Structures are given as C-alpha cells and as structure tokens.
Structure 1
C-alpha cells in the first residue's frame, strides 16, 4: 500500500508562505503599474479593450490583496479559516471580469466606437505576456505544495491575465496594421467564458493541492496528486 503524503514540514510550510507573500506583493505592484498605463493609454486612444485590460488589472490587485490578507495571519488555523472568504472574493472577481469583457466585446462587435493605434498599449500587453506566466507558475507551484486552494486560484487569475495580454496584443497589432477591429472582441468573448469557468471553480473551492500537514487518511491523494473533490491537476 502506498504511503499517504502528509504534506510539507512546518519549516517548509513557513518558507512557502513567505514565498507566496513575496509573489503576491510582486503581482500587486506590477498590476498597479499595468492598470495605470493601460487605462491611461486606453482613454487617450478611445480603446475599450485597453481600458478593459486595465480594469482587469484592478481586479487582479483585489484578488492578490485577498490572498495577502489570508497569509498575513501567523496562525495556520486562522489562515485556513480565511481561505473560504478569499476564494469567494477571487470568484466574484472572475465573474465581474467575465461580465465586463463580455459586454465590452458585444459593444465592440456592434460597432460602438473605433479605437486608435496605441503604441503604449502594445508595449504593456507585450510586457504582461512575458512576465505574467512566470508569476503564475511560481505561485501555483507554491500554492499546490502548501495545499492552498486560494493561492492556486489567484495564480489562475494571473494566468488569465496572460491570455488577456495575448488577446489584447493581437487585437491592438491587427487594428494598428490591418484595421481588423473585430479580432479582439471575438477573442475576448472566449476569455469571458474561461473567466466564468475559473470563477465557478474558485467559488466551489476547487484546486490542485497537495494535502496539508493536517491531512488525515480520508484526504489521501488520488492518482494525479489531488485531494478528493479537487479539480485534477493539469
């Protein structure tokens, strides 16, 4: 019979907690800069896509701040108690993002307004596309090892920003070079669907987690390394 993993040691748990705090702080800092640049550039260029991207950054800040609040508790039991509230905040952020992106995409397809070329928008989208995958992967890895569904959910929010960055970059480049104004809203609708799914998973508390140190036999890992009831690792 395979041995049941009891998760990280107390020393490792403390190290992972510190790592998550640093990653969350980096995410908040970058997204604040991203929000200011994107919303400003979007307003100047009359680009609803850029403004929407900036608002997504604001939502990501709220999500990361919720995780920071959870991990600010020194007591492990208190952090676990805060996790459900944190997941609810992350889920609502996803739903709000999906609603905004979806409505904005429909308006764009209906021909409401025409965005101008935006070099700053292209630059910030390219930077986000390069930076966000690394932040997401680092936080997801630490969150899974620690057994924190909220940290994993927040890493998905950061990964979604990568998808949005790619969509925004393609849309801005196509608009600037070929005048294809329909490309961005179509892709944005796909992102809205993804955001709804991620929001639902966060609301249900799903995540790919290694059982925490308090694990009991009933919480043994399944074949893919996840606790029963969690979404299987991908």
Structure 2
C-alpha cells in the first residue's frame, strides 16, 4: 500500500511537471515565434498553453483514481476536455488560415534557429515523460495513466514536425517550409481536439491506448 501511494504521488508529480513545463514552453515559444516571425514556433507555443488545460484534467484524474481506481471520468475532467477540444479547434483554424496567408504572400521567418533548439529539448523531455509515465502506469496496473503516457507521444510528434521544418528552413532557406510545418501541427491539433470530445463523451481513457 505504501509503494502504491508513492507511485500515485509520482504520477501526480509528473502531471504537475508537465503543466509547469508546458507553461514555460508556451511563453518562450510564442515570444520567440513572434519575434522571429516563425508561425510554426508560435503555433507550437500556443499548443503548449492548450496542453496546460489538458494537464489540469490529468492531474485531477490521478487524484481521482488514487481514491477509487475503478471510478469513471467526473464532470471536472469532462469540462476540461471540452474546453481543451474547443481551444484545439480554434488553434487549427488560426494555423491553417495563417499558413495559407503566409504562402499566398510569400512570407518567410527571419530565422528558425530557436525552433530547432526548442523542439530538440521538447523531444528529449517528452520522451522521458512518456517512459516515466509508462513505468508508473505498469507498476500500478493503471490503464488511465498508461493511456496518458501514450497520448504524450503526440507532443513528441509535434516536436519532430517543428524540428524538421525549422531545421530544413535554417539549413536550406526553402520557401514556405515553415508554413508547411505549421499545417502539420494543425493536423495533430485537430486530432487532439477530436480526441478530447470523444473522451469527454465516454469513459474511454484515450484514443491512442
């Protein structure tokens, strides 16, 4: 029982770390994305802020299943999921419209250097979180925590898209690559928004579990 309590505390600490990390990542990425006129980096940072809302639901979920592992998703979590889903859909519209506008006007970022740095750090941090959450989830035999770990992989995929688009532009200055990377982020944001509404309307842990 003592070991189980320690594992739940670890799971909650990981959820809090994810929230704090996403706040910091969001502030830095949106600021540098705006300064460097990199839409992909700015969109990546905006996504991080939305992940904070999702993270609050996850932290609440950990506390709920610690009290009762067999309990279903409660109103707080469902509300957080719906708010997150709406935010993702708004982000998708903003990213797609902005990307198409940039392509139409031929706009290019001043630099994507910070996109390379931030995405590289994010990939490393998110992989560690995925591994740690899976470890805790397996030891607890908790499907919700394992599902959350799998869903964290989406953040890894988005970081990889940012890394590729930022890296290619920084090396070769290929026109529109930043906008194409932004459209890739929009695809995953749409998938996350869709998943949020599906989870809010059911007791499934995650579409990717």
TM-score under structure 2 length normalisation: 0.76
- Corresponding residue to 1:45 among 36, 40, 51: 36
How many residues in Structure 1 have an aligned counterpart in Structure 2? 202
Counterpart Cα distance in 2 of 1:65 and 1:154: 15
Q: 1:98 to 1:41 in 2, by over 3 A?
A: same
Superposed CA offset, 1:27-78 (max 9, x none): 1222222122212222221222221111111111121123223445574388
1:161 and 2:152 equivalent? Answer: no
The SS at the match of 2:105 is coil
Counterpart Cα distance in 2 of 1:154 and 1:94: 20
Q: Larger deviation: 104-113 or 28-37?
A: 104-113
1:147 and 2:138 equivalent? Answer: no
- Corresponding residue to 1:186 among 180, 189, 193: 180
5+ long unaligned stretches in structure 2? none
Q: 1:20 to 1:47 in 2, by over 3 A?
A: same
1:116 and 2:107 equivalent? Answer: no
- Displacement, 1:178? 1.2
- Corresponding residue to 2:56 among 65, 70, 75: 65
Q: Larger deviation: 114-123 or 132-141?
A: 132-141
Q: 1:44 to 1:188 in 2, by over 3 A?
A: closer
- Displacement, 1:116? 0.8
TM-score under structure 1 length normalisation: 0.69
Counterpart Cα distance in 2 of 1:140 and 1:86: 23
Match of 2:82 in 1: 88
RMSD: 3.3
Match of 1:129 in 2: 123
Larger Rg: 1
Match of 1:226 in 2: none
- Corresponding residue to 1:174 among 165, 168, 171: 168
- Displacement, 1:171? 1.9
